[in-house]
Amino acid sequence: MNCEWVQQNTALYLYDELADDARHELEQHIRRCQDCAAELAAQQDFQAQMNALPVEEPSASFLAAARMRLQEALETAQQNRAWYHRLAFDPMAWMRQVRFSPALAMVIFIVGFGGGLGAMYSVKGPATATAPPVEASIGGITSIEKEPGTDNVKVQYDKRMPASVQGSASDPKVQDLLLYAAKSNENSGVRLNSVDVLTSKADDPRVRETLTYALRYDSNPGVRLMALDGLGSYVKQDIRVRNAVLESLLNDSNLGVRSGALHALEPVRADSSVRMALQQLSKEDPSEYIRTESKRVLASMPNIY
Amino acid sequence: MVGQAQSRMNDTELIREAQRGNHAAFEELVRQYDGAVLRLAYHLTRSEQDAQDIYQEAFLKAYRNIGNFRFECSFYTWIYRIVTNLCLDLLRKRQVRKEDSGVTTDSEGGTYDLLDQVADQRSGASPERDLMRRELAANIAKALKKLTPRERMVFELKHYQGLKLRTIGEILNTTEETAKNTLFRGTQKLRAALKSVR
């Protein structure tokens, strides 16, 4: 085994991709060869550096949003498929086969599926006989692209399709919607109702992640209080919940939320960050209530040496 | 009840059911893989919008073509093949348009710097360490741009997603040896790029 081979395979060694015998020989070689040992160390350092861009699991609401969008598109695709099967003639297959004469004045391609997917119109020439989309059904225009040097325009838009689902809050479909609503809905009443239902499912880490998000970022103090209510039991066992509650105590603009956070942290007896925060608050907080309560909670905590 | 029964089926049975038009079976298949698909798409593209688009297109393609799946490879490989091809298309498009800034758009159109993800959120974290981490992440993002789309894809699948090189070869319709060589070239480029910014 020579140095060139070893240096070309240090990455594979670190990724555990070498066969057992090759791994053994590489290890033996590195024990004897300083240059190759240095190369191994450099490769290790490089791989550690690359982890500064960590891979994160998609958040619950991100995944829920993606699933919802896909669900809408699949339902439309399923309907279209059923519709095509009822016809003796498949227009999409026909369009693939027919060759259009270049003398044709206009061609319209409708690609994709409605309901949640963008629909694309590529129009060459005058507008078509197909009815334009009804304004009330358009969710929003997402992009307009003009093809340079031509009259072609691609308009991508979303369509709204009201729908409902009913079932247990443990049903994954229902839960995905609740997680999405808790983070993304414009209506604070809807967010409040979502968080209310989700508090009973806080044993699920995905749900806790969404409740933590609501506690940190929701603009409505009622929603933040509701989320805090659901998270309170997890302050001791889940460090991310504890951090979020501590941040609320320190930074929330609403005294009721801060007070709730303070009481939620009472069972935490051994966290030095909590203790330090309480010490600071007991001396410097502008609210007398927070100062008094912080002192009381500190007094009940055992000393940590 | 039906959902619970579906979850006990293995992939083969689910695929066959999905091929017969059983929508619940297809949805169960989606749920087995969609977290991993979104994770890959998001880490590679650094854009919530692009990641969602890739996710959507990948599973719609799977839905449209599941009838053509002949069990010549695992469903896992098949899905990953669809996703990686979509990711490669996007990387090539970005290369042509010289896109790929550090600013990302979320699915609601808001922008934020992905490097904020690298920050240590715990209260009391050191600002100096945080700044160093962000600078390193910025250098890494720049270095990754120097790779070809294929090199980047192989590096992403190996280093960040932890796939075996043999699987990567299958996904990219090539050999394990070719995947190894691509990984080696990509790694050398990245190391050189990171060295030059120190």
Q: Which of 1.20.58.110, 1.10.3720.10, 2.40.50.140, 1.25.10.10 is the CATH number of A172-299?
A: 1.25.10.10
Is B122 an interface residue toward A (CB < 8 Å)?
yes
A4 Cβ contact list (under 8 Å, min separation 6): none
| Residue B6 predicted with pLDDT over 70 | no
**What is residue B132's predicted lDDT score, i.e. its pLDDT?**
79
Answer with the residue of higher pLDDT: B114 or A229: A229
For residue B183, pLDDT beyond 90: yes
A211-217 mean pLDDT: 90
Distance CA B102, CA A236 (A): 37
Mean pLDDT score, B162-185: 95
Q: How far apart are the first and last CA of chain A?
A: 55
For residue A215, is pLDDT > 70? Answer: yes
Q: Is the pTM of this model over 0.90?
A: no
Mean pLDDT computed over B13-26:
89
- The residue extents of the domains of chain B are 1-100
A-chain residues near B107 (CB < 8 A): 62, 65
The domain defined by B1-100 folds into: Rna Polymerase Sigma Factor; Chain: A (1.10.1740)
**Which residues of A, range 216-275, sit inside 8 Å of B by Cβ?**
243, 246-247, 250, 273
pLDDT at A132: 53
Q: Is any Cβ of chain A less than 8 angstroms from the Cβ of B42?
A: yes
Point out the least confidently predicted range of A158-162, A179-183, B96-100, B113-117: B113-117
Say whether B43 and A73 touch across the interface (CB within 8 A): no
3-state secondary structure of B27: helix
Quick one: CA dihedral A109, A112, A118, A119, positive or negative?
A: positive
**A90 touches B: beta carbon within 8 Å:** no
**Quick one: pLDDT at residue B137?**
84
* Interchain CB contact of B131 with A (< 8 Å): no
Which residue in B has a C-alpha nearest to residue A142's C-alpha?
B109
Q: Closest CB to B158: pick one of A15, A73, A78.
A: A15
Phi/psi for B135 (5° steps) reads -65, -40
Among the partner residues B55, B123, B159, nearest to A247 by beta-carbon distance: B123
- How confident is the prediction for chain A on average, in pLDDT? 78
Annotated domain spans of chain A: 3-44, 60-159, 172-299
Over the stretch B124-156, which tens digit does the pLDDT of each residue have? 457 777 777 788 888 898 899 999 999 999 999
- What percentage of chain A has pLDDT greater than the value 90? 23
Question: Does pLDDT of A91 surpass 50?
Answer: no
